[in-house]
Amino acid sequence: MSKTQPSPSQVEPNPTRASYLSLQEVASLDIDRAETIEDITSVMEEASYEATNVAEELREKATNIEDGFGHETEMSAEFNERADEVEGWAGDLTNLDVPDEPGDEPEKPERKSYPEGKDGDSQFDGAMERYEQEHEEWQEATDGWDDRVEEFREEAQGALSEAPEI
């Protein structure tokens, strides 16, 4: 017997709802594991795609009910309303304020790329000054990047948590 508690999607008897819960669970775990803004964006796009599939399933249920009765019913209207809410949420997942990737981020300078020497050797001193300047520029360009990733991770998790009930 497993010692871990089953996830909500594992105990949900309704297949559409189970799939909806599963997409939220998987996306949340993947966001926590993501290392870059691009990784998080990719997770959100996949979650949006899966949510759109759930909305289509809900619309199909509504259509089946209407076809069976020959007209809209309270239940079919409810399925269509839920589908609209899920589609809106799916759009929200891909409309987050994505921070810029550091595309022009300078490459981290390596000390070994400078000539060996001793203090007082003008070639060595000049190379060390260039290294220190490049390293300082690199640090300034990359400062806060981890913070931006973490902030975006929190924003993505927040968007996931706003999933409408189905």
- Confidence (pLDDT) at 72: 95
Cα-based distances in Å from 47 to 40, 109, 139, 166: 11, 38, 34, 16
Name the residue ranges covered by the structural domains of the chain: 12-103+147-161
Query: Per-10-residue mean pLDDT for the chain, 166 residues long?
Result: 87 96 97 93 97 98 96 96 98 90 58 56 68 78 78 96 96
- Confidence (pLDDT) at 88: 97
- Confidence (pLDDT) at 128: 72
**DSSP assignment letter at 128:** H
- Confidence (pLDDT) at 12: 96
Q: Whole-model pTM?
A: 0.75
